[in-house]
Amino acid sequence: MRQETGGVTGTQDKDYNLIWFVEQCLSNVLRLENYIADAERAGDGELTEFFRRAQAESRKGAEQGKDFLRRRLAG
């Protein structure tokens, strides 16, 4: 079992982990924008739609994470 590192970061691990999750989801949204553009340029509609669905899921994860974080930090 690993120890809480909040003393090092100044933020409890669970809060840091949630912030990290939101950041990663948003980073994926941005990265997938490039992948979508590449697939569109290649004329690969199937891959374009796959990346768009993945991007929508990452955006959804970010929004859910932000909502969760708001509730946690407000309490």
In a domain, 3, yes or no: no
For the cut 80, the answer to whether the pLDDT of residue 1 exceeds it is no
* CA dihedral for 19, 70, 14, 61, sign (positive or negative): negative
Residue 16 is predicted with a pLDDT of 86
Number of domains in the chain: 1
Contact status, residue 22 vs residue 69, Cβ threshold 8 Å: yes
pTM: predicted TM-score of the whole model, two decimal places: 0.80
Here the tokens at position 20 are 């990290």
Residue 66 is predicted with a pLDDT of 96
Segments forming the whole domain that contains residue 59: 14-74
In a domain, 44, yes or no: yes
In a domain, 54, yes or no: yes
**Model pLDDT for residues 5-60, shown as the tens digit of each residue:** 556 666 668 888 999 999 999 999 999 999 999 999 999 999 999 999 999 999 99
In a domain, 6, yes or no: no
In a domain, 61, yes or no: yes
Residue 73 is predicted with a pLDDT of 83
In a domain, 38, yes or no: yes
In a domain, 5, yes or no: no
